[in-house]
Structure 1
Amino acid sequence: MMKKTNMAIQSKSTRSFFFFILFAALCVVFLCTFFALGIWQVQRLGWKEDLIKHANERVQLSPVAAPPQKQWADVHFDTDEYRPIFITGTYLNEKEIHVSTIFQESSGYWVLTPLKADDGTITFINRGFVPMDKENIKTREDGNIHGETTVSGLLRMSEGNGIFPRNNNPDANIWYSRQLPEMAKKLGLTNVAPYFIDADKTPNKGGYPIGGLTTVTFRNNHLSYAITWFILTAGVLAALIFLIMTEIKHRKGITDV
C-alpha cells in the first residue's frame, strides 16, 4: 500500500514539475519581452526628445529655397520637418483640396493648393484655414492669388493616417489627412514634391485662408509606455518568484514524505 502511495505521489510530482517548467518558461519569455519593450520605449523617448529639440531650433532659422526635385530623396521627417523654406511658382487655384480640421473649436478646412514652379514640379501649399461656409473657392475670390508668387512657410512631410484614422475618400473628395500621393493621384498631377508647405501668416486679401497657424507639436507618450512595460515586467518577475518559491516548498514537502 505504501509503495502504491509513493508511486502516486511521484506521478503527481512529475506532472506538477512539468507544469512548473512550462509556466516558468512562459514567465521568462514574457519577462524578456516586456523588459525589451520597456528599453525600446526609453530609446524612443530619447529619440523623440532630440527630435523636438532640433525641430524647435529649426523653426527659428531663416527661410531657404525649397529643396529641388533632385534633392527630394534626401528630405526626411527627422531632419527637415518644420524647416522654414520659400518657393516661387503659380497657384493652380482650380485644383485646391480641402482637408477637414478644427481651429479654435470651429470646424473648417485646410486649403491645400498645388503650386507649379518654372521647372514644372508641383508643391502643395497649405494656404491656411477657412471655416465651413468658406469652403467654396467662389466665396473667397479676393484671397486667390493669380500669376507668379513667392510663398514662405514651414516644410511639412506628407501625413499618415494617425492612430485612429478616418480614411480619406478621394473618390468623394473627402479628406481628413494630408496624404500627398493620394491627392496628386486624385488631381492627375505628376512631379509632386514629397512635402508640402504650411504658408506663413502673411495675410490674404479678404481674410481667407488664414495662414501661419502651424503649431510645432509631436506626440510623445514614450515615457508612459516605458513605465507600463516596466510595471508589467515587475509583475511577471513577481509571479515567477512566487512560482519558484511555491515549487520549492512543494518539493520540500514531497521529500519530507
Structure 2
Amino acid sequence: MMVTVAVLVSLGIWQLERRTWKLALIADVDRRVHATPQAAPGPGQWTERSGLLAPYSRVSIQGVFGATGPTLVQAVTEKGPGYWVMAPMTSEGGFAVLINRGFVPLDALEQLGSPPTGE
C-alpha cells in the first residue's frame, strides 16, 4: 500500500513539473510566432547555438525565384490529400532556400498556375 502511494505521489509531482515545462514551452513558441521577422541568416550562421533557427522563428528574405519551377511534395493533411508547393529561391546573399508556397488540394492542382519569377 505504501509503495502504491509513493508511486502515485511521485507521478503527481512529475505531472506538475511537466506542466510547468510545457507552459514555458508554449510561452516561448508564442513569443517567437508573434515576434517581428528577422533577416534570414546565411549558412555561416546556421548553428543551433545562434538561436536564429529556433522552431517557429519568423524570418524575411529577399531574392529571386529559380527558373526550374516548383516542386510538388505529396502530403496528407487535415485539409485532405494534396501537395505542398516548394519553390527554390536564391537570396540576395547568394544562398539558396526552399520557399513553401502553401498547400494545394488534389482537386485544385490544375489551377496551380505558372511558377513565380523575380523577387
Q: 1:53 to 1:118 in 2, by over 3 A?
A: same
Answer whether contact 1:63 1:85 (CA < 8 A) is retained. Answer: yes
Cα offset for 1:128? 0.6
| 1:108 alignment counterpart | 82
Checking the alignment, whether the CA contact within 8 Å between 1:98 and 1:135 is kept in structure 2 is: no
Residue 55 of structure 2 corresponds to: 81
Residue 107 of structure 1: how far off its partner (Å): 2.3
**Aligned equivalents of 1:75 and 1:114: distance in 2?**
24
1:63 aligns with 2:34: no
Quick one: which amino acid aligns to residue 38 of structure 2? V
| Residues in 2 aligned to 1:115 and 1:65: alpha-carbon distance in whole angstroms | 15
Distance 2:113 2:95 in 1: 25
Name the structure 2 match of 1:141.
113
Alignment partner of 1:61: what SS?
A: coil
Aligned ranges 1:188-199 → 2 under 5 Å: none
Secondary structure in 1 matching 2:117: coil
Give how far 1:80 is off. Answer: 2.5
Write 1 or 2 for the structure with the bigger share of strand.
Answer: 2
Instruction: Compute the displacement of 1:76 (Å).
Output: 5.4
Where does the alignment leave 5 or more consecutive residues of structure 2 unmatched? none
1:162-181 matched pairs, under 5 angstroms: none
Residue 126 of structure 1 corresponds to 100
CA distance in 1, matches of 2:64, 2:17: 44
Distance, in Å, in 2 between the alignment partners of 1:132 and 1:107 is: 6
Query: How many residue pairs end up in the alignment?
Result: 110
Using a 3 Å threshold, how does the CA distance of structure 1 residues 70 and 43 change in structure 2: closer, same or farther? Answer: farther
**More helix per residue: 1 or 2?**
1
What is the CA–CA distance in structure 2 between the aligned matches of 1:133 and 1:76, rounded to whole Å? 39
In structure 2, the CA distance between the partners of 1:97 and 1:56, relative to structure 1 (3 Å rule), is same
**What percent identity do the matched residue pairs reach?**
30
Amino acid at match of 1:81: P
Distance 1:114 1:44 in 2: 40
Q: TM-score, normalised by structure 1?
A: 0.36
Deviation at 1:118, TM superposition (A): 3.5
| TM superposition shift of 1:127 | 0.8
Greater relative contact order: 1 or 2 (C-alpha under 8 angstroms, separation 6 or more)? 1
The structure with the larger Rg is 1
> Given residue 127 of structure 1, which amino acid in structure 2 is its aligned partner?
R
